[in-house]
Structures are given as C-alpha cells and as structure tokens.
Amino acid sequence: MKKENLTEEQLIFQDAARTFFEREVEPNNEKWEKDGQVSREVWLKAGENNFFGIDVPEEYGGMGIDDYRYNTILIEEGVKCGGVGFAHSVQNDLVVPYILRHGNEEQKKRWFPKICSGETIGALAMTEPGGGSDLAAIKTTAKDMGDHYLVNGSKTFITNGLLSDLVVTAVKTDSKEHAKGISLLVLERGMEGFERGKKLDKIGQKAQDTAELFFKDVKVPKENLLGEEGKGFYYMMESLPKERLSIAAASIAVIETVLEYTIQYCHERKAFGQKIGSFQNSKFKLAEMKTEAEIGRTFYDQCVFELNDKKLTPEKAAMAKWWLTDVEHRVVDQCLQLHGGYGYILEYPVAKAYLDSRVQTIYGGTNEIMKEIIGRSLGF
C-alpha cells in the first residue's frame, strides 16, 4: 500500500516483513522451485514472527488485529522478493477466515494455536476435476453416519496440497440439493483414506505445491463440521471477496515491481547509441503502464479500506480481481517485450514473472466469471 495509507506500526511491520522475506525466502527460491515446494521451516519461522492469524484473537495465539492492511503488506513484500511459492496468503486469507467466522469455541482452541505458530499448514479444497468455477456442482459427498461423515470424492489444483495438515473442504451433505446441499468439513492429515495425489507440474509458480486430493471412505468426526450443515455454499460466497482481494494484492505488487526494474533496464540498455527508454515507442509504453499502475494502486487501496469497514461488495472485489490481474498480464508481457531477447531468459526476473503471473486470471474464479458477477450487479 502507499506509505501515506499505513500507520507507524504498520510501517514497522512492513520493515519486519521485508527483512524476513529477504533473509528467509529470497535465498531459498531457487531450491524450492527445484523441489516443487517450500520447506516447513519457513512456515515455522513465519509463525515466530507473528505473520499468521493476524486477525485471530490473542487467546488463540493470534495478534487480534482486524485490519487487512497487515495481510496486504505480507503479500506485497512476498511478491517483491519473488516468493510466490510460499503460500502464506492461503493460510491468512482463506483458511483462517472460515474458522474465525464459522468455527465454534472448541474448534478455535483446537486449531488456531498451531495455525498461528506455523506448525499447522492450511489449505482450501473447493475445485474438482470436472467443476472449475462452478462450485455448486461439486460431487464430493459426505454421508451422515451418525457420529461422523463418510467422505468420498476428489479435489484438484489445491495450493499447499502436499504440505497441508488441515484442509477446509467443500462437500455435498445432501446430494438431492444443489447449492443448499453443500457443507464445509475440516479434513486433517492422518485420516485414513485421505490421500495426496501427484504434485502437479505447472508452467509457473514452481515452488508452490499444487496437488490433487483423494478421499476414499474418510471418516470425519461431526466435530469437524464448520458452521451449519447445508450452509457451505453461502459461507464460500461470503469469503470469496477477501480471497479475490488477496489475488489483486499480488497483482498490483507484480505490476509495480516488474515495471520498476523494467524502467531501470530501459535506462541502462542502449541501442543505436541511445537508451532504449528514449525511443518514442518505449516511452509511450512505459507511460501507459505507469498510469495503469497508479490507477490500480489507488483502486486497490480503496478496496482494502472498504473491506476493513465491511463495505466491500462482491462485485467490487470481482472488479479488483479481474482488472488488476488483467493489467498484470498485459504489463508483464509488455515489460518482457521491452527487455528484448533477454526477457525470454529465466535469469532475468521478468521471464519468471511472466510464467508466474499467467495463472492470476484463472484461479479464485476466472476473469470471465468476474465479469459475470459484475454484469449481474447491473441487473442482467
């Protein structure tokens, strides 16, 4: 966020986050990309720095601060050091909100302390092989067996799929119903029949473990039901604006970061006896991107304040996710072009940004779905 939009305490937090990512994440990015996942140690170190469960009450191990600017700082500082593989935002912006809003006292006491310490890594399992963005059409079932549910089905494209210890999972508890038949269950590592599939080989974000999950007669105790049975779809719709804003946060950070080192490159690189940035086409492209970055930053910061004030609407969150990821895609592509042949070499950060950014317009609901949400708000 812009410095003028941060408090003195948040600027101190920003410095701490920057130092953490520079020391603990940036030096390990290359190794993690080869491994296909980050180490569990970095999760524990992040927990030691109070980077998880910022809005979780102190009695459960959190900081008790309900201000999304802290989450934004973590996302942006992570992007600046190239740490997209460390999916801390899944923990803070997806898993924690579900338990905070819909978990009972026993569940909060049971799960939050280790989530906040980084000992427990969380994941969110909604998407299925044949479902995509159509969350109401999920086929994973949870049959009521009295004191437990029997879960069968599968999920795919799950971030933290291999590392996760706790997975908030969308299931059908009533197969006769559509959206009203969906509930949320928390599945935990070690449950018999809960298996991880292969690590999916992606074109970008190589260090972020993305996997398939399989459930075969998994016994999940009734105590692991989040909220009320049949309310899962409503809970998911309620939480999606925050998830989409977290994606937008990464996008504006990528836009600003890639543009910054592209401008620097255009000052340093020469062709035909002059800086490549001095050519009219280059200046115009940089001028356009700088303008879009300024607009995007102002819009994003406004959305954060609206989220803090509980005024951010689903359609405005959809606007932020769609527009900023779309601008990110375009800016990264144009910055790569300005780098010429060097832009295609992975040694240059713009090449990695190009690969890592592509998925932004897809996950969290495709940008086509975002436009559909916005269009519906117009009465169509």
H-type alpha helices, 182-338: 232-268, 280-308, 314-338
Specify the pLDDT at position 83.
84
Q: Do 70 and 8 fall within a single domain? A: yes
228 phi, psi to nearest 5 deg: -100, 150
Q: Do 257 and 371 fall within a single domain? A: yes
Enumerate long-range contacts of 22-29, CB under 8 Å, 24 or more apart: 22/81, 25/78, 25/81, 25/83, 25/86, 26/81, 26/82, 26/83, 29/81, 29/82, 29/83, 29/85, 29/207
Specify the pLDDT at position 30.
93
pTM reported for the whole predicted model: 0.95
Q: Do 151 and 59 fall within a single domain? A: no
Q: Do 319 and 187 fall within a single domain? A: no
Specify the pLDDT at position 134.
75
Where on the phi/psi map is residue 144: left (φ > 0), alpha (ψ -120 to 50), or beta?
Answer: beta
Specify the pLDDT at position 246.
96
Sign for the pseudo-dihedral over CA of 61, 167, 135, 224: negative
Q: Do 359 and 268 fall within a single domain? A: yes
CATH number of domain containing 290: 1.20.140.10
Q: Are 165 and 188 in contact (CB under 8 A)?
A: yes
Q: Do 190 and 253 fall within a single domain? A: no
Domain count, the chain: 3
Instruction: Please tell me the distance from the alpha carbon of residue 291 to that of residue 294, in angstroms, as a whole number.
Output: 5
Specify the pLDDT at position 21.
97
Specify the pLDDT at position 132.
67
| β-bridge mates for residue 148, sequence order | 221
Q: Do 238 and 355 fall within a single domain? A: yes
**Using CA atoms in the order 357, 129, 315, 56, what is the torsion angle rounded to 10 degrees?**
-80
Q: Do 29 and 10 fall within a single domain? A: yes
pLDDT per residue rounded down to tens, the chain (380 residues) = 999 999 999 999 999 999 999 999 999 999 999 999 999 999 999 999 999 999 999 999 999 999 999 999 999 999 999 888 999 999 999 999 999 999 999 999 999 999 999 999 999 999 999 876 677 789 999 999 999 999 999 999 999 999 999 999 999 999 889 899 999 999 999 999 999 998 999 999 999 999 999 999 999 999 999 999 999 999 999 998 899 999 999 999 999 999 999 999 999 999 999 999 999 999 999 999 999 999 999 999 999 999 999 999 999 999 999 999 999 999 999 999 999 999 999 999 999 999 999 999 999 999 999 999 999 999 98
| β-bridge mates for residue 186, sequence order | 168
Q: Do 278 and 327 fall within a single domain? A: yes
CATH number of domain containing 60: 1.10.540.10
105 in active site: no
Q: Do 166 and 272 fall within a single domain? A: no
Annotated catalytic residue, options 33, 243, 306, 328: 243
- Residue that is last in its domain, among 213, 230, 247: 230
Q: The tokens of 156 are what? A: 């795919």
Fill in the amino acid letter for 91.
Answer: Q
Q: Which helix (H) or strand (E) holds 17?
A: helix 8-20
Domain of 148, in residue numbers: 123-230
Q: Do 347 and 247 fall within a single domain? A: yes
Residue holding tokens 């804003």? 245
- Residue that is last in its domain, among 120, 149, 168: 120
